[in-house]
Amino acid sequence: MTHPRATLRLQLHHGFTFDDALAQLDYFAALGVSHLYLSPVTTAQPGSMHGYDTVDYGAVSAELGGEGALRRLAAKVHERGMGLIADFVPNHMGVGGAHNAWWLDILEWGRHSAYARHFDVDWHSADPALRGKVLMPFLGAQYGEELAAGRIELKFDPIAARFYVQYGPHVCPICPTEYATLLQSANRADLNTLAGPFQGVTTQPEDQARATAGRDALRAFVERAGVEPIEFVLQSYASTDPVTRDRLHRLLERQHFRLAWWRTATDEVNWRRFFDVTALAGVRVERHDVFEAVHKLVFRLYADGVIDGLRIDHIDGLADPREYCERLRQRLTSLRATPPFIVVEKILAHGEWLREDWPVQGTTGYDFMNDVGALLHDPAGAAPLAETWAAIAGDDRPFASYALQARREMLAAYLCAELDHVTRALHRIAREQPGTRDTTYASVHRVVAHLAMHFPVYRIYPSNGLRGSLDNRFFDVALEASRRALPRASLAALALVDGWLGGRAPEPAASSGNGGGGANNSVKPARAAPAGASASNSAPPNTPLSHALIAQRTALALFSQLTAPLAAKATEDTALYRYGRLLSRNEVGADPDDFTRTQPDFHAANRLRQKRPLGLLATATHDHKRGEDVRARLAVLSELAGEWSATLRAWSTLNQTHRRNDNTAAAAWSPGPTAEAMLYQTLVGCWPPELDPGDEAGVRALAERVSQWQLKALREAKLRTNWLAPDEAYESECQAFLFDILAPQRRDGFLQALAGFVARVASAGALNTLLQTVLRMTSPGIPDLYQGTELWDFSLVDPDNRRPVDYALRKAALDDEAPAAKLKDWRNAHVKLATVRRLLALRARAPELLREGEYAPLAVSGAQAGHVIAFARQHGNEWAIVIGTHLAAGLLDGDLPLVAPERWEDTKVELPKACAQATLHDWLSDAAHTVRDGNTLLLRDVLQGLPVAVLSTLARA
């Protein structure tokens, strides 16, 4: 299978399986995508709606239909000349519950489990109560409370012949070293006999085999005698009686796990999590044996031709992403002759690009989503909108200040354990040398916290324990900010930590001849590794790594595995819900302070994309905060900043009587000024174009959706409520405010005002949508469609953006009519669907032209030149000319998202000389244009029927 032309992302779950996808295959093929891009197919926690909580890497999810259904889908996909790309999660697994066999094994056998090194567990915790144990912070209340309430119970599985403790859905196996004691507690001869094989069993691997034999005998006994004798054992550890409850407690204290209240995880979790999600445990995929075990299924599916490529989730969670990508590509290349297709989910900060030495096709497209989104914003609106927000919030700080404050809070309240892990790794290095052994834990902790808080990107990618020049470009930003923020007494510790985090080659372990000299006298600066060097290639073959190098690499990995989740939690999941200048810039992968992209900036970014022409181009994902059409409409407010500011004030006054007063704080009311302002933006952004304010059922359905968003937004903001300690009274008042202002009796008041303002901006928003769609389809790279977004995408944050897709509606709307012919009925979004289909057809006709063809910005002149973006794509003798209307809300006269031809006046696009006298066919209107008169095209001719045009030397068949 060749590389993709266009992908379509499908979110699979028990309500939309492989067979459901197969049933829509004719539609997907007719739409024109070349590859289906599936959410994770491995077995996840039962009922998972996303698949990112894998519990079994070795089996295709039965809830999705199992491997047979996946192979049926693949066969039919390949019959049509299409392909499959699978999302894959190497960084973490779902834990808790009762379905992850690897995790259950380490709960049972501790550090001697065959899977003990599969997870990032700290078996040598500084807390004596956790040494050799795994914290299990899944209890709903304090351990003693839950134990006394009888919610922690000893049970027996007759099929597995296994004793275990159960708490709700969570299962923790009892170590077989306890089985002899357990069986003897019933004081029965038959059970005493069964206890014999377990006498003296230890956790050592050779004894685990003895335990297996003992279990076989126990299983045979239960098959003959039933489970009634075992009930005597369970009664001896029942939590209903103080004596037996104490016995159960002492049994639990001897296990390789420690049951704990879920709130303890923030401070005490001794294993790496995905962000701060305690149900997801980090996997040590950097180990060769773990890498092979984790990828066993996908390698087999790839070797068999079932899947054609991989999308790697959360690449920044891995210890060494570059080395992982190298190993993955090598293994896939060894399995099939065709080069593997690999893209990675990577959030890139402003000015950051995917490392050139990563052997992947590119990213999943958040960078493009940010660039095209920023292009839709008018720079003239930045300052007045910021002033309006400052007046509402009583705070004129830029977003960066909000993000820094959020980072400080995340480290203090959510990622304490992760910060502690990094600090202890660095403190151990300090203790190795006489010259640094008096460096205190507290001083290192303080330094690491500041470095992490000020880190400008998700993470760095050092090689073999040393930072390269690209790493230092970002690390030095945090270093300088920390120097300014830390007290003078901490600067010595900062210098040491700088070295231990890859600034210098590691110092050999101390010996008796080292004396007590200072570290700075004995450490010689080392040349940093080249930016492209790989950790796997930096040492001679079979050269054992020194203890000092291992320690430094460990500290660097832990630091990177702290900065990445800190950036995500503080920015994406906190600050973006606090700062609301314009919510269309509050998106994954975006920086609200980076308000806009100029056309030259956008062109420059597209030219850089040509270096990796197989990267994805996304405008919507399963993780977006707001749908692509919500953002496109809200971007119009940047062109109407003054009008929007006045509208906000008017609506706030209009709805003042619906606010709830908070009796606990005289100045507080619900929802509060910032939450209210964000709510109005959200309503404007997601109001369906065809919704009438008098449609009570339709308005109510919208209110229910927005209510889900509102609850998540308030908790993510972590200001007056949060996930850890929700203020349900405040949340209820906010919901009541929302439903009050959208109540049927408000149809002639706020509802009418809201619908009227939406009508004012909706056509300009639709124009933005068409421009965004065309740019995604014609920029260098591979356009990625998210399920259902070929019609309107007015979705909000998950789970709203993962709602079922009405494919019957989309099939019925699919025809061969030109998009321009559908513009008059633009509210039904058929014009968007037709645009997608036409440009996918052009990509099928000339795959290289739009994917990797040369890219050249085109000059525009005339009265309205500032409202046009244009560029050419060329591959051999094939040409495509892309022209779009840009920032034109002020040029729209009527209801259509189209600038009247006469408003363009003398505006024209200058074409490449090679197009002289050529006849260009517009794939979006079916019009033909012959290039004359100085090799230019007049906008009044080209954009007569649609605000965008894609002209090509290739005519439609």
> pLDDT higher for 667 or 16?
16
Q: Are residues 416 and 455 in the same domain?
A: yes
**148 within some domain:** yes
Q: Give the amino acid at 765.
A: G
Assess whether pLDDT exceeds 70 at residue 6. Answer: yes
Res 238: pLDDT: 96
H/E stretch holding 922? strand 919-922
Q: By percentage, how much of the chain surpasses pLDDT 70?
A: 95
Q: How confident is the model at residue 544 (pLDDT cuts 50, 70, 90)?
A: low
> 832 and 889: one domain?
yes
Mean pLDDT over 178-206 rounds to 95
Structural domain includes residue 18: yes
Cβ contacts of residue 631 below 8 Å, gap of 6+? 373, 376, 584, 587, 685
Beta-sheet pairing, 868-875 with 854-857:
antiparallel
The answer to whether residues 515 and 652 belong to one domain is no
CB neighbour class for 321 (10 Å; exposed up to 12, middle 13-18, buried from 19):
buried
SS3 283: strand
* Residues contacting 206, CB < 8 A, separation 6+: none
Q: Nearest 10 degrees: CA dihedral of 147, 151, 156, 160?
A: -110
Is residue 668 included in any domain, yes or no?
yes
Nearest partner of 277 among 558, 49, 573, 63, judged by Cα:
573
247 and 318 both lie in a single domain: no
- Beta bridge partners of residue 35, listed in sequence order: 7, 83
Confidence of residue 932 (pLDDT cuts 50, 70, 90): confident
Residues 600-604 have a mean pLDDT of: 98
In the chain, the number of structural domains is 5
Q: Please compute the mean of the pLDDT values over residues 255-278 and round it to a whole number.
A: 96
Indicate if 412 and 359 belong to the same structural domain. no
Indicate whether 295 and 263 sit together in one domain.
no
For 452-471, b/e burial (b = at least 16 CB within 10 A) is bbbbbbbbbbbbbbbbbebb
Q: Which two tokens stand for residue 507?
A: 């110092």
- For the segment 40-64, what is each residue's pLDDT rounded down to a tens digit? 999 999 999 999 999 999 999 999 9
- Residue 801 falls inside a structural domain: no
**How far is residue 779's CA from residue 246's CA, in Å, rounded to a whole number?**
67
User: Is 766 part of any domain?
Assistant: no
List the structure tokens of 719: 């200001």
| Domain shared by 648 and 685, yes or no | yes
| Residue that finishes a domain, picked among 703, 727, 759 | 759
Domain end (from 509, 543, 572): 572
Q: In the predicted model, is pLDDT for residue 502 greater than 60? A: yes
Comparing 102-106, 535-539, 592-596, the range with the smallest average pLDDT is 535-539
> Which 3-state string (H, E, C) describes 173-223?
ECCHHHHHHHHHCCCCHHHHHHHHHHCCCCCCHHHHHHHHHHHHHHHHHHH
pLDDT of the residue at 510: 57
Would you say how long the chain is, in residues? Answer: 957
Please report whether residue 753 resides in a domain: yes
Cα gap 783→841, rounded to integer Å: 13
CA distance 749 to 752: 5
Q: Which amino acid is at 39?
A: S
Same domain, 199 and 250: yes
Burial class (CB in 10 A: 0-12, 13-18, 19+), 538: middle
* 121 and 77 fall within a common domain: no
Same domain for 304 and 262: no
Tokens standing for residue 79: 């019959």
* In contact, 97 and 333? CB cutoff 8 Å: no
Tokens found for residue 622: 């399963």
CATH number at residue 110: 3.30.1590.10
Domain boundary among 759, 790, 825: 759
CATH label of the domain that carries residue 935: 2.60.40.1180
Residue range 553-564, pLDDT digits in tens: 999 999 999 999
Residue 43 is part of a domain; what is its CATH number? 3.20.20.80
Q: What is the pLDDT of residues 507-518, one digit of tens each?
A: 776 543 333 333
Helices (H) and strands (E) in the chain, counts: 33, 29
Whether residue 793 lies inside any domain: the answer is no
Q: pTM above the 0.85 mark?
A: yes
Asked if residue 204 has pLDDT above 50, the reply is yes
Candidates 175, 201, 181; CA nearest to 105 is 175
Question: How many CB atoms sit inside 10 A of residue 112's CB?
Answer: 17
Confidence of residue 545 (pLDDT cuts 50, 70, 90): low
Q: Are residues 567 and 617 in the same domain?
A: no
Q: What is the pLDDT of residue 537?
A: 37
- Domain of 445? 401-572
Cross-sheet strand order for the sheet of 35-38: 362-363, 341-344, 309-312, 83-88, 35-38, 7-10, 782-786, 616-617
DSSP letter assigned to residue 881 = E
The DSSP secondary structure of 213-278, one letter per residue, reads HHHHHHHHHHHHH-SHHHHHHHHTT-TTSHHHHHHHHHHHHTSSEEEEEGGGHHHH--B-EETTEE
**pLDDT range class, residue 315, cuts 50, 70, 90:** very high
Which of the two residues, 507 and 659, has the higher pLDDT score?
A: 659
**Same structural domain, 640 and 672:** yes
Separation CA 81–CA 66 (nearest Å): 23
Task: Write out the DSSP string of 461-479.
Answer: --BTTB--HHHHHHHHHHH
Does residue 776 belong to any structural domain of this protein? no
Task: Please name which of 279, 888, 336 lies closest in space to residue 639, comparing C-alpha atoms.
Answer: 888
Cα 773–chain centre separation: 22
pLDDT tens-place string over residues 390-406: 999 999 999 999 999 99
What's at 89, amino acid-wise? Answer: V
Taking each helix axis from N to C end, the angle separating 750-778 and 673-686, rounded to the nearest 10 degrees, works out to: 60
Q: What is the pLDDT of residues 669-713, one digit of tens each?
A: 999 999 999 999 999 999 999 999 999 999 999 999 999 999 999
Beta bridge partners of residue 871, listed in sequence order: 857, 882
